[in-house]
Amino acid sequence: MSKIVVAERLRKNFGNVEAVKSVSFHVNSGEIYGFLGPNGAGKTTTLRILTGVLKPTDGKVEVYGMDVFKNPIDVKSIIGVVPDEPKLYENLTGREFLEFVGSVFSMKRVEMNQRVLELSEAFGVNFLSKFIGDYSHGMRQKLMLISVLMRRPKVLFLDEPTVGLDAKSAKILKLLLRKYVDEGVAVFMTTHVLEIAEKMCDRIGIINEGELIAEGTLEELRSYSGRESLEDIFLKLTGGDEIKEIVDSL
């Protein structure tokens, strides 16, 4: 097992907002690392730094030993990123978009078509001839997933990947990710949904108000906190006991 993504003391300030406060962690090959936290915790900001989209105020990110900001092209050729709200070209059809991505990454036509066919079948995608401008959030999410997975990246970064997916597609994604990590791929994914982290991730980092407040396998997190469910751990760590009381009393 080797460290594929290494984040060291990442910080990001937006004006006086400290969105990320000295966060360090790593993602191993062959694992799905879940970044779990409530809304506004700093998940998307961290993912954008990890993928070279956003420069950190401080800190360093390495992917396969390469500095993300010093070797952007090399890093981008081996990673795949599925943002939470993909920016897509509204005036292209899904297929045109995939062809564009394929040409940017110099994919062989035959291989690309085969991968697109397999992935479209897996996710029940039958709308590639339609314009992206007419897609729902879930359809965009699926197109983005196909455009990334067809390239077989060595490292995947997914921001809230199951939001907008139907249950069947979410299950397929889970199985596909597991297959890729078994082949040595490293996955970093964010989620605000506990159940997703529990079901999909091998290790979980809990982020709250820009700080990584706990990290480990589900078992480790349970033993640290002495509590049973991840929900309790999560609510305790993120100060949500109050919320639980409110919900329980409804």
Does position 41 bind ligand ADP by CB under 6 A? yes
CA distances 77 to 36, 107, 129, 152, 159, Å, are: 27, 11, 27, 10, 19
The position carrying tokens 């949500």 is 240
209 phi-psi bin (left φ>0, alpha ψ -120 to 50, beta other): left
Does position 44 bind Mg ion by CB under 5 A? yes
> Would you list the DSSP string of 129-194?
TSBGGG--HHHHHHHHHHHHHTT--SEEEEESTTTT--HHHHHHHHHHHHHHHHTT-EEEEEES-H
**Contact string 6-25 vs Mg ion (x = CB under 5 A):** --------------------
The position carrying tokens 């029940």 is 124
Number of residues that bind Mg ion (CB under 5 A): 2
**Contact string 199-238 vs ligand ADP (x = CB under 6 A):** ----------------------------------------
Does position 16 bind ligand ADP by CB under 6 A? no
> Would you list the DSSP string of 48-98?
HHHTTSS--SEEEEEETTEETTTSHHHHHHHEEEE-SS----TTSBHHHHH
Binds 175: which of Mg ion, ligand ADP, none (CB < 5-8 Å by kind): none
102 phi-psi bin (left φ>0, alpha ψ -120 to 50, beta other): alpha
Nearest residue (CB) to ligand ADP, 39 versus 106 = 39
CB neighbours (10 Å) of residue 135? 18
Nearest residue (CB) to ligand ADP, 107 versus 206 = 206
Does position 141 bind ligand ADP by CB under 6 A? no
Among 9, 14, 184, 241, binds ligand ADP (CB under 6 A): 14
Does position 39 bind ligand ADP by CB under 6 A? yes
CA distance 47 to 155: 13
How near is the Cβ of 222 to Mg ion at its closest, in Å? 26
**Contact string 63-102 vs Mg ion (x = CB under 5 A):** ----------------------------------------
**Contact string 45-84 vs ligand ADP (x = CB under 6 A):** x---------------------------------------
CA distance 83 to 66: 22
What does DSSP assign to residue 126?
-
CA distance 20 to 142: 29
* Of 35-43, 113-121, 173-181, 238-246: span binding ligand ADP (CB under 6 A): 35-43
Does position 43 bind ligand ADP by CB under 6 A? yes
* Of 44-52, 58-66, 107-115, 210-218: span binding Mg ion (CB under 5 A): 44-52
Residues making contact with ligand ADP (CB under 6 A): 14, 17, 19, 37, 39-45
